[in-house]
Amino acid sequence: MMILRTTAEMRRQSRAWHRADETVGFVPTMGYLHAGHMSLVREAAERCDRVVVSIFVNPTQFGPNEDLAAYPRDFARDEALCREAGVDAVFYPAVGEMYAADHSTWVVEESLTRTLCGASRPGHFRGVTTVVAKLFHAVEPEVAVFGRKDAQQALVIERMARDLDFAVEIVVAPLVREPDGLAMSSRNKYLDADQRQRALAISRGLALAVRKYERGERDAAALCATVADGIRAAGGEIDYVELVSRADLCPAARAEGPVLLAVAARFGATRLIDNVFLG
Ligand code: AMP
């Protein structure tokens, strides 16, 4: 398994594979890998001859009061997991490799980023779309795999790839949960045992909302209250619980047609997100 630290090296390797008629599948991550990430690696491996995982904690997608410095990092462990999974190359650039000191060009998606995490984390998606565009230029993949855990992010990346003519197929893979239902996340490491237990209110609330939906509940306020009440009762602080249309991520008053029920909530200082698609 290669570890490549510069965009030039990464691109040279990818072009060598392409010259040998091999396709490249790409999984961008911020590291501290877990089974959710590794499921994306398997998706990429099923579709492509070569798999590249990037590990880059992207500073431009963190707000000034967010957890950039504290974000969990363990490259040795990530490297071992990638090796075990048969990854061909890990792209592991330093911040200075990705961003010139006077970097001043940004990729901004202006529609799907208006709600949910786009509203609660100003500037977040500008950092995400910019870094993913840069990573696509470095890796030049045929396929890139994203997780439905970050449902809005996946839709924003699909939109960016379409709008800016990136020659990459975006694949969105299912959300992977812990056995008790908690959505897997690198940030789960921050939770102490009590918070970890209380945070189950998020996935339980979503599961309860799905059951109500299946029994015919279509009212957005009722579906959102099902989730929000449980989180509040467990001592969580809600950032948002929202029902939005799958097509444009605008708030939906009723769960008619494809919709996304999305949550962001804090347990202690840890902000967790989760979601379900309905219809
Ligand atoms: P991150 O390292 O958190 O930036 O995530 C990198 C990629 O892994 C993103 O496409 C995420 O959506 C995906 N991912 C993270 N957690 C999960 C999960 N529990 N299930 C599926 N995909 C995930």
Q: What is the pLDDT of residue 157?
A: 99
Separation between Cα atoms, residue 2 and residue 18, nearest integer Å: 16
Q: What is the pLDDT of residue 215?
A: 98
Predicted local distance difference test score (pLDDT) of residue 43: 98
Burial 54-76 (b: 16+ CB within 10 A, else e): bbbbbebbbeeeeeeeebeeeee
Q: What is the mean pLDDT of residues 23-39?
A: 98
Pocket test for ligand 1, best of 43, 75, 125, 149 (most atoms within 8 A of CB): 149
Q: How confident is the model at residue 205 (pLDDT cuts 50, 70, 90)?
A: very high
pLDDT score of 221: 98
Q: Which residue, judged by its Cα, is nearest atom 11 of ligand 1?
A: 147
Pairing label, strands 143-147, 169-173: parallel
Q: Which helix (H) or strand (E) holds 171?
A: strand 169-173
Residue whose CB lies within 8 A of the most ligand 1 atoms, among 26, 29, 32, 37, for a mutation test: 37
Burial pattern 161-200, b for ≥16 Cβ within 10 A else e, equals beeeebebebbbbebbebeeebbbbbbbebbeeebbebbb
Of ligand 1's listed atoms, the one at least distance from the Cα of 153 is: 12
Q: Which two tokens stand for residue 25?
A: 């599948």
Please answer whether residues 226 and 252 qualify as being in contact, where contact means their C-beta atoms are separated by less than 8 angstroms: no
Question: How would residue 252 be classed by pLDDT, with cut points 50, 70 and 90?
Answer: very high
- Per-residue pLDDT band for 190 (boundaries 50, 70, 90) equals very high
pLDDT confidence of residue 28? 99
Q: Which residues are paired to 272 by β-bridges?
A: 265
Q: State residue 216's pLDDT score.
A: 98
State what percent of residues in the chain have pLDDT above 90.
Answer: 100
Q: What is the pLDDT of residue 113?
A: 98
> d(Cα 89, Cα 138) in Å, to the nearest integer?
12
The closest-lying atom of ligand 1 relative to the alpha carbon of residue 145 is: 10
Quick one: pLDDT at residue 160?
Answer: 99
Neighbours of 246 (CB within 10 A): 15
Residues 154-171 pLDDT 10s: 999 999 999 999 999 999
Report the mean per-residue pLDDT for the chain. Answer: 98
For residue 98, what pLDDT is reported?
98
Q: Span 145-149, mean pLDDT?
A: 98
**With contact defined as beta carbons under 8 Å apart, do 145 and 8 qualify?**
no
| Paired tokens of 9 | 């090296």
Q: How many CB atoms lie within 10 A of CB 126?
A: 18
Answer positive or negative: Cα dihedral of 182, 218, 113, 173: positive
Average pLDDT rounded to a whole number, residues 8-17: 98
pLDDT in tens, 76-134: 999 999 999 999 999 999 999 999 999 999 999 999 999 999 999 999 999 999 999 99
Backbone angles phi, psi at 158, to 5 degrees: -60, -45
- Residue 7: both structure tokens together: 């965009």
Give residues (CB < 6 A) around ligand 1.
29-30, 36-37, 39-40, 146-147, 149-150, 173, 175-176, 183-186
Q: Which domains, ranges and CATH numbers included, belong to the chain?
A: 2-173 (3.40.50.620), 186-274 (3.30.1300.10)
CA of 44 to the centre of ligand 1 (A): 14
